[in-house]
Chains A and B, each alone.
Chain A
Amino acid sequence: MITKSHLIEWLRACDAIYTENKTYLTQLDTAIGDADHGNNMHRGFRKVGEQLDSLADKDIGALLKAVAMTLISTVGGASGPLYGTFFLQAAGKASGLNELNAAQMADVLEAGIGGIKMRGKASAGDKTMLDAFIPALEAFRTTPDDLQTALNNAADAAEKGAEDTIPLIARKGRASYLGERSRGHKDPGATSAAMMLRELAKAAEGDA
């Protein structure tokens, strides 16, 4: 089971990981974007981190919804509405719940990723965050064992998916303006998505 306190620890860890990788993610976005992705993620999750203590008594749906609203109003750029929609749609599958089993977790992830597809209209292979999220969901769903293994496999698949964006030509977002010149660079959004899923797998290992 994933409990609410696992998720709070996860969000705290996201705050830490985007603080640590602010410069790295911005460097990735300097090569094929406008040099702000790390700053955007850091600004958004710093604000989420500040609010976590006040969200401790909410159910998982309300927690994820509060995260969505904070990200939407602080991140900006393309990733703000996209990650915001991810959390908003995920929240819809978790309202009233205080823990998630594997099937519920899969529904939450699927709804969140569906939100990104709906808002950004990108497909697999367009060199976006979906190239981390889509294989991660696939790996999660096809892991028959326990929830923890499924989360680990999802994080592995997301990291591989992010690596695999390197040879792709971007077809969505700012990187698409570069055409051929976008080849040979890792997509910043896919990288931040893989970090988010790795932190989820790590947080789930802790005591609840």
Chain B
Amino acid sequence: MKKLINNPDDVLREQLEGMQLAHHDLIHIHLDPAFITRKEATPKGKVALISGGGSGHEPMHGGFVGYGMLDAACPGEIFTSPTPDQMYEAGKAVEAGAGILNLVKNYTGDVMNFEMAADMLMADGIKVQNLIIDDDVAVKDSLYTAGRRGVGTTVLMEKIVGAAAEDGYTLEQLSTLARKVNRYGRSMGMALTSCITPANGSPSFEIGDDEMEIGIGIHGEPGIQREKMKTVDEITEMMTLGILEDPAYHRQLRAWSPEKGEWIDVAETDEPFGSGDQVIAFVNSMGGTPVSELYGVYRKMNEIIEKKGLTVVRNLIGPYITSLEMQGCSITLLKADEEILKYWDAPAHTPALRKGM
């Protein structure tokens, strides 16, 4: 293993200390338990937006704490969901009378840990809702799996929902918007290499020079299938069509029911994309793939989207939701209506994403 680290056990803490020094004008880092908040307190009456997950996906989520996006982020160990005490302390630190919306990526551990944290906060009389993000079309059914993973849509979600929270949305309005963004967003990822967590020191899977993994998540795990290496045009076509031709997706998602006072399963259906749709396109590097190659992906993706009668109206290109040093990329397409575009275009100022201010 060759990495820019000292002791593997200190990587997470040292990373947070560096972030604090670099971005003290925007954020504040808390340790034991670890969470990141904005430097300024949440304005009174604004819903507090919190996310979190394993580390190793930087700049997500800590890099998106700041005006127009998150109020707090909770980093777990590398690729391991954070623990409820982190979300509980973060929630108490940033809640400002209007409740908390937790943005949770759909992994068994994340869902359970955020649910326990929400229970603890609600026991203190704070209003909380958990919004589960599950946009990875590589996972086909939810009957025989833990359901689709939460991947690229998370980044777009944090931007859009963050701006709406800034604009005064109530917890209910914000949850409704977040559910729509989740229904409208779809992603697919692929890997050329695996990655190495500092704690393990060896690659998460072996892969030949002429092979690639299709349908990966963001935790250095192998994908749905392994294939022979192809050209960027062929790979982009496979991913873009995988997203555009994905049929309606039905599943149940956990949410808190304030009326019933318990966690319930809510039925959700993602409708397929159609000709005439406007989309926000997000081409993401898994960490090791250079931006130059992402533009190659964008070129072919745009051609396919136009041929299908859709239009890319906004884009985001770069490493925003990564798997350490893994080479590979993901594509996220989000159907954009007026409300979504309004908040995508609204100002934001965070360590990793800045727009209009």
Contact = CB atoms under 8 A, between A and B. Distances in A.
Interface in B53-86: 54, 76-85
Contact of B77 (A39, A79, A119, A172): A39
A33 B221 contact: yes
B317 to A, nearest CB: 26
B6 interface: no
Contacts of B81: 76-78, 80
Contact of B108 (A43, A120, A178): A120
B116 A36 contact: no
Contact of A72 (B76, B116, B145, B205): B116
A35 B146 contact: no
A165 B8 CA distance: 32
B112 interface: yes
A173 B83 contact: no
A73 interface: yes
Given A30-B205, A72-B84, A73-B84, A177 B77 contact: no
A135 to B, nearest CB: 22
Contacts of A79: 109
B interface, over-half SS: loop
Contacts of A72: 83-85, 116
A202 B77 CA distance: 32
A35 B145 contact: no
A174 B108 contact: yes
B202 to A, nearest CB: 8
Nearest to B88: A73
Contact of A76 (B76, B138, B199): B76
Contact of B224 (A35, A173, A177): A177
Contacts of B139: 177
Interface in A60-114: 72-82
Contacts of A169: 144
Contact of B113 (A36, A80, A178, A179): A80
A178 B216 CA distance: 10
A34 B77 CA distance: 12
A77 B221 contact: no
Interface in B213-257: 217, 219-222, 224
A26 B219 contact: no
B112 A173 contact: no
A178 B205 CA distance: 13
Contact of B200 (A26, A40, A74, A174): A26
Interface size class of B (residues with CB under 8 A): 35 or more
A179 B226 CA distance: 13
A80 B83 contact: yes
B289 to A, nearest CB: 20
B149 interface: yes
B144 A177 contact: no
A174 B83 contact: no
B180 to A, nearest CB: 25
A36 B82 contact: no
Nearest to A39: B199
B80 A73 contact: no
A174 B144 contact: no
A81 B144 contact: no
A173 B108 contact: yes
A103 B92 CA distance: 42
21 contacts: A33-B221, A34-B79, A35-B221, A36-B77, A39-B80, A72-B116, A73-B33, A76-B54, A76-B81, A76-B113, A77-B76, A78-B81, A80-B109, A80-B113, A81-B112, A81-B113, A171-B145, A172-B146, A176-B146, A177-B149, A181-B224
Given A34-B79, A76-B54, A181-B222, 14 more contacts: A35-B220, A36-B79, A72-B116, A75-B83, A77-B109, A78-B108, A80-B83, A81-B112, A169-B144, A171-B144, A174-B146, A177-B138, A178-B222, A179-B145
Per CB-CB distance, the 4 closest pairs between chain A and chain B, nearest first, are A34-B219, A78-B109, A176-B145, A81-B112
